[in-house]
Structures are given as C-alpha cells and as structure tokens.
Chains A and B, each alone.
Chain A
C-alpha cells in the first residue's frame, strides 16, 4: 500500500511540474508533451519510455487498488455484525474517507485520460497540442469541468494528507516527534500538490492563461 502510494505521489509531483510549465508558455508546454514522448529515444524507440512509465503507473495503481480492496474485504470480514449505533468518527475524516476518496480519484483519472490524453472528451482533442486542449477544457463557460476537477483534486488532497502520514508510519516512523513531523509533511505535500494542480484550471478560468 505504502510503496504503491509513494510511487503515485512521485508521479503526481512530476505531473504537476509538467503542468506548471503551462505558465512558461504554450510552446514550452507542448514541447514538454513531445519531450515526454521522445524521452530516452536514442536507446528506446519513440514513446517507449512513456509507455514504460504508463505501465509502471498502471501497475502501481492496480497494486494500490488491489491492496486497498484486500484490506477492505478483510475489514468487512473482521466485523461481520455492524454496530446498530453508527460509530462516531473518533479519528480524522480524512482517514475514514480513504476508500471513497480513492474511488473518486480513479473515476476522475479515467475521465481525465479520456479528456486530455486520448482527447475523446475534449472540445479540441488535438493530441499534438495539449496546451490548446487544456485551455479549451477550463474555459469559463465550461465551469462545470473546472468544478469537477477542483472537487477531484480536493478529494486527492484529503486522500494524500492521510495517505502520506499513514505511509510514513507504515514505513516505520515511530517517535512522537516523528509523528508531528509526519503530520506536517503530509499536510505540506497535500497542500502543495493541490495548489499546484489547481492553479492550472483556475489560471485558465480567470484568463491568466489563454
């Protein structure tokens, strides 16, 4: 769980940095998309690296989901009779919503890939010019797309805040100070990622990026 989760976080960072190139300008962003495909070309055929990365990512996601499902099934089996009085949340809401948060994120990613990678759901859908796709996506009159992205990214933020904090403990963080640091790190990462991702749609929405 923790290992796959951390891989996913690494991807999220890389992806965010890529996305932020949008502020540098259209060509930079498009170049980046091309660069992604060309990466490793002398050694590997074009887009291979991308595909390797995609498989890695997919494996991580699947591993992650499988692990989450196994835990969920075990949990269900471990408590065959539910409480009549619904237990109060004593820990944190972020912790209680991990599973739902995960599902929302997956649904989002599917939509998102159909939107920006394959272009099927994108108003422009020009694969060679992602800049345009992105700008078109978050146009003010398509505010609902922005809203959906925002929601998904906030869900992601919650998932990450608890996820990272939790992963650190899973990997053996074991002191009271460490506990405090873990909380700060998790919150920090979640906020940075959320902010990083959210700037793009909002920049488009507000016309900062056209």
Chain B
C-alpha cells in the first residue's frame, strides 16, 4: 500500500522542530509500524538524508522503549498495543499518518521522535522499591500471599514504563505510571513497611519532575499497552490520604 507520513523532525533539544511529509509506496500489511519506518529510513539514508530517529529495542512489546503518537493517539489506533507491535494491516492504502513524539515537559525531545524519560527513573528512585538488601531474605514461602493479591499486584507490575499514559493525559500527568508501582508494592506483604513513605515520596518526585496533576480524565488507561486500570490511581489516592493523615498525626 501507499502511505503519506507526516513526521515530527527535530534536530536536537534546541531545535524548534516541524512536521515533514514523506511518501512511502510498497508498504506490506504484514510489516510492523517500526519496520515500515525502517523502510523509510533505508531510503532516506541512500538519498543522503538523515533517517528518522526513534526509540525501540525489544520490538515485542515489553521493554517499553518504543512509543510515538500516531494520528493523535499514543501507540496508535490498536488498543493494548505498543508501537512496535502495531501492524500495518490496521491502516488503509492511501492513508496519511501523523507521527509525533510524546509531548510533555517532563519528557523533553532528544531528537525527532526520541524523548528523554529519565523522569520515570527518578520517580522510582524516590521509593518504588522494597528495601531488601541482597542476602537478607527469608525463605520465599515464609509469607504466603493470597492469590488474588498476587495476581492484582502482577497486573500492576506489568507496566512497561513506556510513558504513553503521560503522552495521552490532557494534563501531562504521570499518575498512572506512579500508581501502577504503588499498587504493585502496596498489595504485597513485602511492600507494607514502606507503604506510607513510598506514596508520599513518589508523588512528590512525580510533581517535582514537572508532570501535571491527575484530574481523573481517564485517557491514560485507554492507551496503556498493558491496560493498567484507573483503580490503581484510586489506590494511590487512598494510600496518599492515609499517609498524609498519619504524617499530620505524627507532626
């Protein structure tokens, strides 16, 4: 099939950036979206133009490296799918496709479609872990975990840190990502001792990183490739309220 691509080109952080159009013939419906861009890049290289920079690694929907806003939707039109797992059979011959990077202050553009998501790492640094130094662990069966909790924790832990939630949120909020980690650790007995400080510190780190606040707009969960549910945000809020109450008690 033939496609018209309009792609955001931005040569480095200082550049202003613009949308540039490219024509692509011979796109096979079996290609993945990134393979389609590979084809474009091969051509650009031979024509002496700079290929389009985009992030990717595993190309199987798990590393969270890829991500672009396709026709206004983060990761494109397929639900619960990362950009690398999106296939061209979901587009039609003659389509025009707009491709843009994640847009958020906390995710500055590095080049073209590549953004810097280190703000997510800083949220995890603030408390997204269980303090369990190597070698200090009791036997794994010392603490049973109800299956329902373990399953729910797993579902929240499935977040791949791609940042689509931020890209889609009208407020540029990273609350779904943050809430997924809070939920994962909050549901497990191992996560209890640090539960209050974790939520307070992680939300503070989230706000400091320049993400917007959550007004429960609910767009994040619809683009999330792992279907992280909004209930995780409810959990974060509840933990946050409880922790705040506790803090003021102690103060």
Contacts and interface: CB of A to CB of B under 8 A. Distances in A.
B19 A84 contact: yes
Interface residues of B, number: 43
A71 B171 contact: yes
Interface stretch (B37-45, B128-136, B139-147, B225-233): B225-233
A75 to B, nearest CB: 4
Contacts of B218: 90-92, 95
B210 interface: yes
A44 interface: no
A159 to B, nearest CB: 12
Interface in A68-108: 70-71, 74-75, 77-92, 95-96, 98
Contacts of B239: 172
A178 interface: yes
Interface stretch (A26-34, A144-152, A163-171): A163-171
Given A90-B223, A91-B219, A95-B218, A78 B171 contact: yes
B103 A79 contact: yes
Interface string B92-116: 0000001010011110010000000
A83 B100 contact: yes
A176 interface: yes
B233 A75 contact: no
Given A172-B237, A172-B241, A178-B234, A79 B216 contact: no
Interface in B191-248: 210-213, 215-219, 222-223, 229-235, 237-239, 241-242
B172 A85 contact: no
A87 B69 contact: yes
A81 B172 CA distance: 11
Contact of A172 (B168, B172, B234): B234
B171 A179 contact: no
A176 B221 CA distance: 14
A175 B172 contact: no
Nearest to B240: A172
Interface in A15-31: none
B170 interface: yes
Interface string A172-193: 1111101100000000000000
A74 B237 contact: no
A85 B167 CA distance: 13
A5 to B, nearest CB: 11
A90 B237 contact: no
B234 A78 contact: no
Contacts of A85: 69, 71-72, 98, 100
A42 to B, nearest CB: 37
A8 interface: no
Interface in B79-103: 98, 100, 103
Contacts of B210: 77-78
Given A1-B215, A178-B234, A171 B241 contact: yes
Given A95-B216, A98-B215, 12 more contacts: A75-B171, A77-B210, A78-B211, A86-B72, A87-B168, A88-B73, A89-B219, A91-B219, A95-B215, A169-B216, A176-B231, A178-B231
